[in-house]
């Protein structure tokens, strides 16, 4: 599992591919709904908001085990399409951008057209949700970007 996959936490709008060994009816792509859940065949909706891919695998396995449908469920979860990230502040083209695994702040800033002349280069703040809380920290150009991150480039005062 990549470092990105280990850090990734599911959120509303994410699309994930689930494969359940010996239960092809459950195999497919699922979108995390606004309540933070996924709905799979033959089991109740499973809350996955804020969970890692491994934690989602465990939750799905537990759901099929508890329902009595499978005795030893084996589940694989892969990201398909994850939430976008946002770049704001002193960049040439602020906005919403498609997330790609392995992205860094430098790649995100490049996607946003680079710094404006007013940018305080090297002064970047990144806001992300960690355990249900919004956390803002300083970031450098090598910091990994995660789905849903909000990146702000600060303005320099002449």
| Answer CATH for 85-155 from 3.30.230.10, 3.10.560.10, 3.40.109.10, 3.10.50.40 | 3.10.560.10
pLDDT 10s digits, 52-98 = 999 999 999 999 999 999 999 999 999 999 999 999 999 999 999 99
Enter the tokens of residue 53. Answer: 């891919």
pTM of the model: 0.78
Q: What angle (nearest 5°) sits at the alpha carbon of residue 33, between those of residues 49 and 61? A: 55
- What is the residue extent of each domain of the chain? 3-81, 85-155
CATH class of 3-81: alpha beta
């Amino acid at each position: 599992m990549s470092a990105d996959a280990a850090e990734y936490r599911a959120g509303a709008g994410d699309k994930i591919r689930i494969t359940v060994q010996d239960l092809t009816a459950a195999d497919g792509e699922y979108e995390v709904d606004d309540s933070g859940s996924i709905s799979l065949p033959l089991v109740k909706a499973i809350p996955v908001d804020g969970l890692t891919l491994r934690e989602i695998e465990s939750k799905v396995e537990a759901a099929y085990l508890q329902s009595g449908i499978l005795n030893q469920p084996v589940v694989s979860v892969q990201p398909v399409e994850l939430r976008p990230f946002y770049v704001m502040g002193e960049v040439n083209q602020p906005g919403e951008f498609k997330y790609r695994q392995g992205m860094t702040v430098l790649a995100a800033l490049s996607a946003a057209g680079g710094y404006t002349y007013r940018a305080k280069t090297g002064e970047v703040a990144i806001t992300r949700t960690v355990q249900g809380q919004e956390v803002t920290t300083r970031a450098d150009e090598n910091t990994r970007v995660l789905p849903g991150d909000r990146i702000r480039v600060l303005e320099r005062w002449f």
